Amino acid sequence: MKSLDQLVRPNIKSLKPYSSARDEFSGEEAVFLDANENPYNQPYNRYPDPYQRKLKKRIAEIKHVSEDSIFLGNGSDEAIDLAFRAFCEPGLDNVVSIDPTYGMYQVAADINNIETRKVKLTSDFELDVDALLKAADDHTKLLFICSPNNPTGNSFKADDIVKLIEQFEGIVVLDEAYIDFVPEKSFLKKLPTYPNLIVLQTFSKAWGMAGIRLGMAFASQEIIRIFNHIKYPYNVNILTQEKAFDLLAAEEDKNKWVADLMEQKKLMTQQFDGYSFVEKIYPSDANYLLIKTTAPREIYNYLVEQGVIIRDRSTVALCEGCLRVTIGTQEENNSLYQALGKYEQECM
C-alpha cells in the first residue's frame, strides 16, 4: 500500500484542528468556567466528552480492541463521510466500490465531488477481485466493501477480502454493519495486520439502537487520529453517549434478538419457498432476505395497501425482480405472510 502520508489530503495533513475547552482541560471535580456553558440545567448544560472516553472503554472491552483504534460517530454514515474528507481531493481523486451495495458510499462521494468507479459483483454476488483492482489508478484512495453486503445479504469470501486489502494501494473500508449476525466473519481481529483497513460497525442493527445514532469505525491509531482532527468537536451528544453506555450492559438482549431473528429468517425462507411468485431466495448472513419474484413492483404496491412496507430493489444492478425484506418479529412476519397469501389468491 501507499503510506498514509501519501494518501491523506495535503490540507488535512497540515490542518490545525479546533481545540475545544474540553480538549485543553478534561479532568473532573473542578469548577468549570472555561466553555461559556450555563451553570444551571444540569446535566444537559455541559458539553459532552469530545472523545467519548467512558463509552470507548466499554466498547474496547466488548470488541477486544484498544480504545485508540476506535472512532465513534453520528451513525457509521459519519465515518463514511470522514473517510472522503480525509483522503479524497474533490474533483481529482476517485474511489472504487462494488455494485450493488449500500447507497451511502455513492452519495457521500457525490457530495464530496469524488468519482465512484463501480465494479459489478459476479452473477452469484461474489467479489470480482481482479476487476476491482484493475478499476483503481493512481488517484484511487478508497475501496468500499460491504460484508455481509446490503442488499444481497451474503458475506464475501475471506480470501477475496484479504487479497483486496493486501493488493489495493489505498485504504479499504470494510462495512460490517450486519456482522453481529455472523460475528465469526469479522475482520476486526485482523486490524493490527493491516494499516490500510478501516472496519465500520454500527449499533443500528443487531443492537437495536438506530434511533440514537451511534456508529463505529475501527482503524490504526494514525487513521483514528486524523478522524478526530476533522470531525465536529462534539459529534456524539450526551444523551447518545449515556444511553448507549447503559444499553451496552445488556449484551445478552442483543444476543437473544440475534438468535430470535435468525430463527425467524429460517421460517421466512420456508414460507417464501411456498409462494408461486417467488423465483429465488438468496442466502443471507444478515437480518433481511433478498427475494427474486415475478412481479416486484406489483407485490410491493399490494403490500403497501395492506400496510406492510418492504423494499423494492428491482431497479438495482443484478437485482432484477428482487424485493428486500427485513426480518421482523413473529407477529410482524405473520402480517406479511397473510398479506402475501391474499396477494397470491387475488392476483396470481
Ligand X SMILES: *Cc1c(COP(=O)(O)O)cnc(C)c1O
> In the complex, which residues of this chain contact ligand X (CB under 6 A)?
75-77, 102, 146, 150, 175, 177, 202, 204-205, 210, 215
180 in Cβ contact with 205 (< 8 Å): yes
**CA 211 – CA 286 distance, rounded (Å):** 19
Nearer to ligand X, 227 or 277 (CB): 227
Nearer to ligand X, 102 or 168 (CB): 102
Residue number with the smallest Cβ distance to ligand X? 75
CB of 312 to ligand X, least distance (A): 16
Question: Between 196 and 202, whose beta carbon lies closer to ligand X?
Answer: 202
| Residue closer to ligand X (CB basis): 70 or 177 | 177
Q: How far is the CB of 277 from ligand X (least distance, A)?
A: 26
Note if the bond before 90 is cis, omega within 30 degrees: no
The residue type at 193: T
Nearest approach, Cβ of 148 to ligand X (angstroms)? Answer: 8
Minimum distance, C-beta of residue 6 to ligand X, in the bound complex (Å) = 27
The strand ranges marked E within 169-242 are 171-175, 197-202, 215-218
Residue closer to ligand X, measured from CB, 22 or 151: 151
Report yes or no: 139 and 96 within 8 Å, Cβ to Cβ: no
Minimum CB separation of residue 37 from ligand X in Å reads 29
Instruction: Please name the residues in contact with 126: beta carbons below 8 A apart, sequence gap of 6 or more.
Output: 154, 156, 157, 160
CA–CA gap between residue 280 and residue 291 (Å, rounded): 6
H helix or E strand, kind and range, residue 345: helix 330-347
Closer to ligand X by Cβ: residue 85 or 205: 205
Angle (nearest 5°) at CA 120 between 278 and 197: 115
Note whether 197 and 180 are within 8 A (CB): no
Q: Minimum CB separation from ligand X for residue 98, in Å?
A: 11
Q: Which is nearer to ligand X, 8 or 72 (CB)?
A: 72
Nearer to ligand X, 75 or 170 (CB): 75
d(CA 240, CA 258): 22
Query: How far is it, in rounded angstroms, from Cα 104 to Cα 81?
Result: 9
CA–CA separation, 117 and 143 (whole Å): 9
Minimum Å gap between C-beta 205 and ligand X is: 6
DSSP-derived 3-state class of residue 82: helix
| Shortest separation between residue 82's beta carbon and ligand X, angstroms | 12
* Min separation Cβ 322 and ligand X, Å: 16
Nearer to ligand X, 77 or 285 (CB): 77
CB-CB contact of 297 with 232 (8 Å): no
Query: CA nearest 200: which of 101, 88, 131?
Result: 101
* Length of the chain counted residue by residue: 348
Q: Which of 302, 272, 305 is nearest to 289 (CA)?
A: 272
Of the candidates 252, 204, 184, 197, the residue with the CA atom closest to the CA atom of residue 223: 197
